[in-house]
Structure 1
Amino acid sequence: MRIATTIFLTDETVTPVRLARELEQRGFAGLYLPEHTHIPVSRRTPYPAGGDLPREYGRTLDPFVALGQAAAVTERLTLGTGITLVTQHDPVDLAKQVATLDHLSGGRFTLGIGYGWNVEEAADHGVEWATRRELTRDRMALMRALWSAEPTAYEGEFGSVRASFAHPKPVQAPRGPVVGPRTLIGGGAGPKLFAAIAEHADGWLPIGGRGLTESVPKLRAAWEEAGRDPKDLQVVPYAVLPDPGKLAHYADLGIEEVVLQLPPAGEPEVLRVLDGYAAFL
């Protein structure tokens, strides 16, 4: 099983360069970074985990800039977003960022996407909350048009792009309905999410990894109903606090990668936690 990590990198934590080097030297598989452009001080949206919103949410580094630094100082470490808030980006610009990072890293990028939870943050980007899933689907389709081998136009409900020259292209070859880098969708288990994964992704990023015994068979059923090859489905438990029993359970479910949560802390504490996680490599 591949052991990757995620962390809220901020202006107060270990740096992307130092962390990436340590991860690769120690044999970890990857680094995934979350995204929040800003956190409005006045908001009604509750923190999904309960209680006060942790300090790091309002100090998060831009994941693409940070992952670009990580890519430059590593050769094998995979790089991903967990998750990119697609609705908060111009899709033409985002397609270029994704393709460039994947190209410069030699195809090491995973695009984790999701629908978000902070209504006020999304509203400042002009997002209508009720249609965010449809907007995400539309923008992913537009980006796939730009990533296609030949100039391809796209006309959608929320946006369009002319047939265009758009290079570099993502490294990974198209597979079924998916064009572009490895794409995983985060979110809670349910028919809408599983239908979206089967339609335009490579798999699922379930936060925390709970309830997979019940939910993975349902996802596999939706996947196969959409005509996708069962062996291609990827389930990657995300932001996991590990123990041997939990990882063994994931392995029994056929899971090949897990993303462990690192603390949003300075270098000494992060390296101490990595030392503990090394037992799972």
Structure 2
Amino acid sequence: MRISTTIFLTDETIRPVRLAHELEQRGFAALYLPEHTHIPVSRDTPAPGGGPLARAYGRTLDPFVSLAQAAAVTTRIGLATGITLVAQHDPIALAKRAATLDFVSGGRFTLGVGFGWNVEEAADHGVHWPARRRLVRDRMALMRALWAAEPTAYEGEFDSVSASHAHPKPVRNRQPGDPLTGPRTLLGGAAGPRLFADVAAHADGWLPVGGRGLTEALPRLRRIWADAGRDPAALEVVPYAVLPSPGKLAHYRDLGIAEVVLQLPPGDDTEVLRTLDAYAQYL
């Protein structure tokens, strides 16, 4: 099992370069970074998990800039967004950014995709909240057109692009018959038929936060994945933001899960490195 990590990197935490060095030297598999462009002060959306919204949400570093720094000082660890708020991006620019990061890192990039939870943040980006899932599907399809080997046009419900020269291309060499183009893509969200249909349609797997309820959810996802004609062996399920214990990781292993993303505190060098020392037992 690969042991990866995630952290809210902010202007008050350990820096990306130091963290990337430490992860690679210690043998961790990857670094996943979340995204929030801003958090409106006047907001009605409840915080994930309830209670006050953590300070780190409003101070989060841009994940693509931070991962590019990490890519420049490492050669092995994976680099991932956990997650990118696709509805809040221009898809042509996002396709270029993702492909470039994948190219300069030698194919180490994973695009974690999410629909978002903060209504006010999305509204400032012009996102109509009830349509956000359709918008994400549409933008992912447009990006995959730009990532295709040959110039490919796309005309969608919300966005379109003419057949274009768009380089660099993502590095991943996909198998014949794979319906997707582009880097490894994991879709976040709560278990359910609508989310699982999206995973089967335009992702390489699922990024469930916390990893609870997988015993019941995995068989349902695998059925929907197979019914969509996807290769059962290709499905990836990566529990995200996990607070680990030996029993929990053994349970994931028994479910056939090959990667787990452990949550690091949004702390300074001392606090983060102390947590990495504690997590070393799982490597």
Alpha-carbon offset, residue 217 of structure 1: 0.5
CA distance in 2, matches of 1:228, 1:201: 10
How big is each residue's C-alpha offset from its partner over 1:31-71, in whole Å with a ceiling of 9 and x where there is no partner?
A: 00000000000011000211000000000000000000000
SS in 2 for 1:3: strand
* In 2, Cα distance between equivalents of 1:136 and 1:110: 17
Match of 2:219 in 1: 217
Deviation string, structure 1 residues 206-260 (Cα, Å, up to 9, x no partner)? 0000000000110000000001110000000000000000000000000000000
Report the number of matched residues.
281
- Per-residue CA shift, 1:15-37, capped at 9, x if unaligned? 00000000000000000000000
Give SS of 1:31's match: strand
Residue of structure 2 in register with 1:26 after alignment: 26
Query: How far apart in 1 are the matches of 2:18 and 2:30?
Result: 14
Query: Residue 100 of structure 2 aligns with which residue?
Result: 100
1:142 corresponds to which residue? 142
Q: 1:82 deviation in Å? A: 0.3
- Aligned partner letter, 2:82: G
Aligned counterparts of 2:133 and 2:263: Cα–Cα separation in 1: 26
Once the two structures are TM-superposed, the CA of residue 174 in structure 1 deviates from its matched residue by 3.6
Distance, in Å, in 1 between the alignment partners of 2:39 and 2:179 is 34
Tell whether 2:13 aligns with 1:13: yes
The one-letter amino acid of 2:134's match is E
- Is this contact kept in 2: 1:2–1:28, CA < 8 A? yes
**TM-score normalised to structure 2 length:** 0.99
What is the letter of the counterpart of residue 50 of structure 2?
G
Q: How does 1:19-168 map to 2 (within 5 A)?
A: 19-168=19-168
Cα separation, 2, equivalents of 1:35 and 1:114: 10
* CA distance in structure 2 between the aligned counterparts of 1:257 and 1:210, rounded to whole angstroms: 15
Q: Post-superposition shift, 1:178?
A: 1.3
- Please report how far the alpha carbon of residue 173 of structure 1 lies from its aligned counterpart in structure 2 after TM superposition: 2.4
Task: Quote the residue 1:180 is aligned against.
Answer: 182
User: Match for residue 251 of structure 1?
Assistant: 253
Partner of 2:229: 227
Provide TM-score, normalisation by structure 1: 0.99
Separation of aligned partners in 1, 2:181 and 2:203? 9
Where has structure 1 moved over 4 Å in runs of 4 or more? none
The equivalent residue for 1:203 is 205
What SS does the corresponding residue of 2:261 show, helix, strand or coil? Answer: strand
| AA matched with 2:254 | D
Q: Structure 1: where are the runs of 5+ without partners?
A: none
Alpha-carbon distance in structure 2 between the residues aligned to 1:200 and 1:185: 9
Match of 2:136, as an amino acid?
A: T
**AA partner of residue 191 (structure 2):** A
